[in-house]
Amino acid sequence: MHKKLLCALMALVMIISMNSNATLAASDEKAGIYTDIGKEYWAHSQIVKCTESGWLDGYPDGTFKPEDPITRAEAIKTFAKFMNKTERKPANVKFKDVESDAWFYSYIGAAESIFPASWLATGNLSPDKALTREETVYMTVMAMGYGAEAEIANPYLIINAYSDNADISETMKPFFSLATSKGIITGYSDGMARPAGEVTRAELSAILCRALEVPEKHRLRDEFAKKNNICETNAIGVSDALLLQSTGDYLTTEVVAKNDGYYTLAIDYSHDSYEITTKVIVTYEDGTQVTSNCGLLSGKQKLSLPIYLRKGANKVRFQHSLRQLPHYILPVYIYGVECSANEEALEYSISPKNARLFLDKPKTPLTVIKNWKEELVEIRTEDGKIVPFEYKQLGDTAYTESMISVSLDKTAMAKLSEGKHILSYHLANGKILTQEFEVTKTTPETELEFINFSVGKANSTLMRLPNGKYLLIDSGYDSTAEEKIIPYLKKHNIKLDYYILTHFHKDHWGKKDEILEMNGITKPDAEKVEELIKKSPEERYAYLRNFGYIDSTMVCYYDELDKIWDLGGADVLITNSRYTEDGAKGEVYNKPFYRIDEHNYENATSISFMLDYKGFRYFHASDNYAFCLERYMSDMIKAKRSDELSCHWYYGNHHFQYDISPEFIKKLNPIAVFVPNNDGAYHRATYRQHYKNEVENFMFFGKRLADTLISHEVGSAVVRVNSGDDWYYETISDEDMYK
């Protein structure tokens, strides 16, 4: 009898073992006493957590087999349990290679909402096939309910930190980006993501545990905001934003806010029209409306704009200038509180923080006060002297920022003693803002000088190099070249030695032929350059040294300008150009996030470069999009040149309004950022707040980032440099600059 019972029990064990495919059999053994995992094992605590939660089981022999790959079948059961969907549920998905008596069949219905599309496309599951890291990322993001958030994630924001990011499938890049930003996944020690690599049982345990921590932290940026007392944060889910209408030239959502406060409105926009005008209208329950212009959108872009919502229902309308709303615009998506209703959290700020007045060439000091809400009553020096001033309002929005431009009386300021002064700006609500102001008898001579001209949303920069030669980078529109650039050159008797045209767009090559002719600069033969590109860099360099002109068709990836021209000791590295090092046409990332047509191709391949002089670094971004700069960052990391990715002065292009890379700017860690801008084209609230939300508040700059200068607020910026430890800048209004 006992023998028969023993045989029956042994048979039952074999059946259980077979039904579980010899894996994931139930075990009463806790992870702490798995025979093949000690407490020193890297994933010990995560395996304990997964076992105690019932997501992953050990084996009958007391082992966990942490280094074994996990199969797709095992993953289905694990994720079903992870989502707390352990009940039997009829499956809608039918796999041709899965029988209804398969040991994991009852979990298919519970987990099918997170199956990767590649599983569904063939109709075969291949249940014994090892789960890949790419599949794991997708299933984890979907299981956590972050699918909608991943859809609007910038796929090029995070993943370029991985050296093998090109191996990640296009459809999976947004999921990798989101999972990385939330800390759900991390790269391997060699900097790789290994998207096609097999995932071990230990790795899946770690990923699930990290995913479980995300809701406790809310959002990464909110956690940082809390720690730094930026604002109080409360989460609101995507289910709270309901699409009500999508007709004509607008779409409307209803958003239920848990509290009064500033929320972020995120919009993914896609349309074949190059430029459209947009605005956002918020209607509160009492019928009150507030409006903010979003400026111009083009191609496919992501926009985030702070909006003030009241507790309860709010209607948010996104409206644009097209007659019909394109079917492929993604719905408005509202997420998390960015700033609390406490307006004290929205700090006032002054730009520039360090102002100067040179008594030999006195100019009207121009200051911008941001987040202005109260009347500016008076300005005083540290010894109580009152400084006369005038101001005008630069922006007027219902959201977090209005700003005033304050013009100080230069005659009164010129009476101050030489040296540093502290100016105090007194607001009607009792707030006092301070600014360091230095008065100098004469303008000192410096070795390197450059001017970022105020030319609206166009680009133009003039450099006086250490050897006394002059370099002009772009010349704005025809109108700005005629009204500003050419008169400035003539007024100061400047003859250009070099002229760089970053790309052929009308806002960069204004009066090109006239500038070349008036300075006696001849152009290289384009066919000759094309021929030499296919030979050697040195032959091409030797040819180009005979000319003072270069455009984006004549340079190669990673060209160094000091090898082409004598730049007086200033090293300049060409980046993101039209050609690669081997002479082939440079590949432009034609990704879903961007519609790359002929126009945008010119932007994506425009010349940008890093200038280095005695430790001072200037990065000129030209019109490169965020994904171009992220590609550049990735390439520099691969080439082990990431130590070069820092700068003192960052020149952001006019696409900077919506197309910034927080990761790239974080890596550059600039002291000052200058952005050419036109308030008629890009509304200040959108421009500034997107940058503030995505970069200044949340990208861990510490205290280094000193100033963000917008040209339509501060005019032109003049930077004078002797070294990385000895440099300064001043801002100059158009009135003083050109008249």
Q: What is the pLDDT of residues 322-341, one digit of tens each?
A: 433 333 333 344 444 333 33
Distance of CA 612 to CAs 462, 501, 561, 622, 722, Å?
16, 20, 11, 17, 12
Q: Tokens 């000129």 belong to which residue?
A: 620
What SS3 state is found at 277?
strand
| pLDDT bracket for residue 660 (50, 70, 90) | confident
For residue 549, what pLDDT is reported? Answer: 97
Structure tokens at 667: 């890596």
| pLDDT bracket for residue 616 (50, 70, 90) | very high
Structure tokens at 739: 């008249």
Across the range 716-727, mean pLDDT stands at 93
Sign of torsion, CA 88 90 93 96? positive
What is the overall mean pLDDT for the chain?
A: 76
CATH code of 238-342, in short, is 2.60.120.260
For residue 362, what pLDDT is reported? Answer: 84
- Is residue 638 predicted with pLDDT exceeding 70? yes
Instruction: Provide the Cα torsion 43, 49, 53, 56; round to 10°.
Output: 10
- Is residue 483 predicted with pLDDT exceeding 90? yes
Question: Terminal CA-to-CA distance of the chain, rounded, Å?
Answer: 111
How far is the C-alpha of 579 from the C-alpha of 19, rounded, in Å?
Answer: 58
For residue 338, what pLDDT is reported? Answer: 38
Identify residue 738 by its one-letter amino acid code: Y
| pLDDT bracket for residue 31 (50, 70, 90) | very low
Which DSSP category does 579 fall into?
B
Which alpha helices (DSSP H) does 112-258 contain, by range?
A: 117-122, 133-143, 147-151, 173-181, 201-217, 220-227
% of the chain residues with pLDDT over 70: 69
pLDDT digits (tens, 9 = 90+) for 222-275: 333 333 322 222 333 323 333 333 344 455 666 777 677 666 665 555 444 444
Burial category of 691 from C-beta neighbours within 10 Å (exposed 0-12, middle 13-18, buried 19 and up): buried
Pick the CATH number of 349-440 from 3.40.50.300, 1.50.10.10, 2.60.40.10, 3.40.140.10: 2.60.40.10
Nearest to residue 157, comparing CAs of 528, 662, 568, 694? 662
For residue 136, what pLDDT is reported? Answer: 96
Kindly report which listed range (298-307, 642-651, 698-707) carries the lowest average pLDDT score: 698-707
Kindly report which listed range (4-18, 185-199, 655-669) carries the lowest average pLDDT score: 4-18
- Is residue 715 predicted with pLDDT exceeding 50? yes
For residue 524, what pLDDT is reported? Answer: 96
For residue 689, what pLDDT is reported? Answer: 55
- Looking at domain 448-705, does it have CATH number 3.30.450? no
- Is residue 37 predicted with pLDDT exceeding 60? yes
Across the range 32-51, mean pLDDT stands at 87
- Is residue 680 predicted with pLDDT exceeding 90? no
How far is the C-alpha of 221 from the C-alpha of 251, rounded, in Å?
Answer: 28
- Is residue 344 predicted with pLDDT exceeding 50? no
| pLDDT bracket for residue 694 (50, 70, 90) | low
Structure tokens at 678: 């036109």
For residue 223, what pLDDT is reported? Answer: 37
For residue 527, what pLDDT is reported? Answer: 92
For residue 25, what pLDDT is reported? Answer: 38
Identify residue 735 by its one-letter amino acid code: E
How far is the C-alpha of 186 from the C-alpha of 123, rounded, in Å?
Answer: 31
Which runs of E-coded beta strand occur in 483-533? 498-501
Q: 519 or 22, which is more confident?
A: 519
What SS3 state is found at 463?
strand
For residue 15, what pLDDT is reported? Answer: 34
Kindly report which listed range (25-34, 154-163, 173-182, 649-658) carries the lowest average pLDDT score: 25-34
Across the range 81-104, mean pLDDT stands at 83
For residue 557, what pLDDT is reported? Answer: 83
Is residue 139 within 8 A of residue 114, CB to CB? The reply is yes
pLDDT digits (tens, 9 = 90+) for 135-150: 999 999 998 888 766 7
Q: 641 or 492, which is more confident?
A: 492
Q: 655 or 303, which is more confident?
A: 655
- Is residue 26 predicted with pLDDT exceeding 50? no
Domain coordinates in residue numbering, the chain: 18-221, 238-342, 349-440, 448-705
